[in-house]
A and B are shown apart, each in its own frame.
Chain A
Amino acid sequence: DQQVKQNSPSLSVQEGRISILNCDYTNSMFDYFLWYKKYPAEGPTFLISISSIKDKNEDGRFTVFLNKSAKHLSLHIVPSQPGDSAVYFCAARYAGNMLTFGGGTRLMVKP
């Protein structure tokens, strides 16, 4: 039973445009959400997070939005750059510091 889902396995965007990556969850007990970025042959690296008491968090070109009633969060990247091409994982925290991960979305930013 996947509690965190990323329904789009891949996304292709033109350089300079907005990238929107989506994530849905089912467990209302999740209290903290994170996005990780992963390049090939490397481990995931932390990108941005949001607490369940907020609906938006911004860090430079990256903004995460949380809609608790819809159990949905999204990551916006504006403007997208070729170096943003990677796999993005959504993760949700439960039971202290344990994370449940989505299946990932491969973002390709075309020059």
Chain B
Amino acid sequence: NAGVTQTPKFRILKIGQSMTLQCTQDMNHNYMYWYRQDPGMGLKLIYYSVGAGITDKGEVPNGYNVSRSTTEDFPLRLELAAPSQTSVYFCASSPGLAGTDTQYFGPGTRLTVL
């Protein structure tokens, strides 16, 4: 049981390039999330999904896209990378319970845009 896995661990992009951050969970969780963490700041929600085929915007969605074709995978796409997207990106999943739902996080992807 690997939990939430993310690839790559590190990546450097040039301005204007595109890339996809991969996220996979093996806990059969319904909910999945993408966050970014800037230095000295808390995590900000980019996009989330409550199930396969359903996605919605979080607090900071501009410049990103997501898809959820399976329960396990929730890739995050960056189009036309900008320096402002330099951050650490965390994927998380949760069962989607009404009461005491807990989010489980992957190890993160550190992205630098130069």
Contacts and interface: CB of A to CB of B under 8 A. Distances in A.
Partners in one complex: yes
- The SS class assigned to the A binding surface is strand
Interface string B30-68: 010001000011111100100000000010000000000
A43 B45 contact: no
A70 interface: no
Contact of A101 (B43, B48, B101, B104): B43
Contacts of B42: 4, 6, 89, 100-104
B105 A49 contact: no
Interface residues on B, range: 20 to 34
B8 interface: no
Interface of A: 4, 6, 9, 32, 34, 36, 41-46, 49, 51, 89, 93, 97-104
9 contacts: A43-B106, A44-B90, A45-B105, A89-B42, A93-B101, A97-B94, A99-B43, A99-B103, A101-B43
